[in-house]
Amino acid sequence: MAYINCRNCSHQFEGNFCPECGQRSKEHRIDAAYFLHDIPHSILHVDKGFPYTFLQLIRRPAKALEEYLDGKRVSFNRPFGYVVIMSAIGALLTNQVRLLIQYVYLKRTGETLVQHGSFFTHYQSVFIFLMIPLASLCTWVAFSKCRSNFWEHALINTYMAAQLNVLLVLIQLFSLIKFLITGSAHYSLTLFITGFMTYYAFTFSGLMQNEVLGWRLGLRLGFMCFLLASVYATCMSFAGIIKP
């Protein structure tokens, strides 16, 4: 039997699993079948690799996603389970901050702060989760002639949607500080869109820098951000997050 070179740790071995790190010997390209297997697997195995995945996607998102696509997957939390956990944490924390703002407002004025809006206004984590297919389509179209297929873009966008919950929490904390200083509880969608576009541009510039060179990369990144901003703005309007 020929030796297999582990994609995760480069150890040479025989068999179905690497004896050094536990990586499977056969890691296939991301496709529809991968997602069909990942969803039930993620539900049953939700805790493996969560801290590592979170820190890697904060510190070096492009490199971490590139490693996962190349088969170095044993250390990472699977994408569906990860985005579900992050969305739940994001929704919980943002709503706790919102309740804190309402409590402080009640103590200061003796009145109840009424925050109008749709379901998705209060649970933007759910909105971001539901936007993964459309966001994947946008990035796939923008980089259609590169090596990554649609399902690989879906995986990238699943991980990135999970990390956008960090941005939501930070913006809510900013809103709390602003409220304590100025008394205004206005939530800034501009901050979210700016942070969202910056994170996407930074990550995809790292992912695609070896495939699209020079000004062409900047052009494609600009086109990607235009598509994402247009689709998000349209869907936010339909969802009642942005009022006409």
**Sequence ranges of the domains in the chain:** 1-29, 31-238
Q: Comparing 16 with 156, which gets the higher pLDDT?
A: 156
What confidence tier does 126 reach under pLDDT thresholds 50, 70, 90?
A: very high
In angstroms, rounded to a whole number, what is the distance separating the alpha carbons of residues 123 and 134?
18
Average pLDDT over residues 99-113: 79
% of residues, the chain, pLDDT over 70: 87
Q: What is the pLDDT of residues 15-47, one digit of tens each?
A: 777 777 777 777 667 777 766 666 666 655 544
What confidence tier does 212 reach under pLDDT thresholds 50, 70, 90?
A: confident
What is the pLDDT of the chain when averaged over all its residues?
A: 85
Q: Comparing 243 with 231, which gets the higher pLDDT?
A: 231
Q: Comparing 141 with 109, which gets the higher pLDDT?
A: 141
Q: Is 205 within 8 Å of 197 (Cβ atoms)? A: no
Sign of the Cα pseudo-torsion (45, 51, 53, 58, in order): positive
Q: What is the pLDDT of residues 161-202, one digit of tens each?
A: 999 999 999 998 888 888 888 877 666 778 888 999 999 999
Q: Is 215 within 8 Å of 235 (Cβ atoms)? A: no
Q: Comparing 58 with 114, which gets the higher pLDDT?
A: 58
In this predicted structure, what is the pLDDT of residue 47?
46
Sign of the Cα pseudo-torsion (42, 231, 68, 33, in order): positive
In this predicted structure, what is the pLDDT of residue 1?
54
pTM over 0.85: no
In angstroms, rounded to a whole number, what is the distance separating the alpha carbons of residues 225 and 231?
10
